[in-house]
Amino acid sequence: MFSPEGPSLRELAVQALSSVERGYDLLAPKFDHTPFRTPVAVLDAVGSALRRVGPFDAGLDLCCGTGAGVEVLERVCRERVTGVDFSAGMLDVARERVRGPRVSWVRADARALPFAPAFDLVVSFGAFGHFLPRELPGLFAQVRSVLRPGGCFAFPLVAPPRPGSLGYWTLLGFDTVMRVRNALRRPAFVMYYRAFRLGDVQRELAAAGFGVELQPLPEFGRRPDGSPRVRLVMARRPG
Ligand SMILES: C[S@@+](CC[C@H](N)C(=O)[O-])C[C@H]1O[C@@H](n2cnc3c(N)ncnc32)[C@H](O)[C@@H]1O
C-alpha cells in the first residue's frame, strides 16, 4: 500500500483490528511511508505561522508519533521541546529520527498528561480523529493544565470536503467502515475523520477556558466560497 516501503494491505488490516495504541506500535516502523504522517507542507506552513507569533520557550507536541511536530517546535522554541505519545513503538522511531540535547520523549496518554503547567506552546498534528467528541472537554482541559498562563495551543484544521465531492465520499466511507468495525469488535480503533469540526472545536476550546483565534494558512489557498482551505487554530490560555 502507498509505497514500496509502506505497510502492506494485510499489515494495515491487522493494525486496524488492534487497539489504537497497539495498532500504532505495529505500524511505527513504516509509519513515515504512509499518508497518515502529516505532510511537510502542513508542518512548514504551521512553523511559519508560529514564527510570526513566537518565539516560545518550552514546547510540547501532543500525540507526537514519529516526531513530525517536534521538528516544528525545534524551529520556534528557544529552550526545550517534548514529544508525548502513548505508543512505545512510535516513540522508539521518533527517538531514532530526531535527536538533540533539547528534545525529550514521554510515553503517556494525552487524556492524562503527566506534566505541570510548564509549556508556552502545545501543538498537535493529525491525531484528533482518535478522540470521540465526548472526550474533547477532558482533552482540552488537559492541554490547558500543562500550559503556562498566556501559553498557546496551536493546530492546523483542514476545511471539510464539499458535500458530494470525491473527498467527501472517501471520508464518509472510511468513517462508516470504522463505525461498523467498532460495533463488531473490541478493543475499538477510534479513528474518525469527520468528527473534529471547526464549530465544535471552537465551542469546546472556549468552554475549557481558552481564547480562540483562527488564522488562514495562505499556502493552501481558499475554497470557491472564499473560506480558507486550512486554518491554524490558536487557543490561548489567558495570562
Ligand atoms: C496519525 S498519528 C500522527 C502522528 C504525528 N503527530 C504526525 O502528524 O505525523 C496519531 C498519533 O496519535 C497517537 N495517539 C492516539 N491517541 C492517543 C492518546 N490518547 N494519547 C497519546 N497518543 C495518542 C498515536 O499513538 C499516534 O502516534
Sign of the four-CA dihedral 86, 88, 92, 95: positive
Stated as kind and residue range, the H or E segment containing 157 is strand 147-158
3-state DSSP of 33-95:
HCCCCCCHHHHHHHHHHHHHHCCECCEEEECCCCCHHHHHHHHHECCCEEEEECCHHHHHHHH
Stated pTM of the model: 0.95
- Confidence (pLDDT) at 195: 81
- Confidence (pLDDT) at 1: 67
Residues of the chain short of pLDDT 70, as ranges, are 1
β-pair partners for 22: none
Q: Hey, which of 34, 63, 109, 125 would you mutate to test ligand 1's pocket, going by the most ligand atoms within 8 Å of its Cβ?
A: 63
Q: What is the pLDDT of residues 5-56, one digit of tens each?
A: 888 888 887 787 888 899 999 999 999 999 999 999 999 999 999 999 989 9
- Strands 230-236 and 147-158: what pairing? antiparallel
- Domain positions in the chain: 37-160+197-236
CATH number for the segment(s) 37-160+197-236: 3.40.50.150
CA angle 239, 65, 57 (to 5 degrees): 30
Stated as kind and residue range, the H or E segment containing 230 is strand 230-236
Please report the atom of ligand 1 found closest to the CA of residue 90: 27
The Cα 86–Cα 93 span in angstroms is 13
| Dist. CA 65 → ligand 1 center (Å) | 5
- Confidence (pLDDT) at 226: 95
| Dist. CA 148 → ligand 1 center (Å) | 23
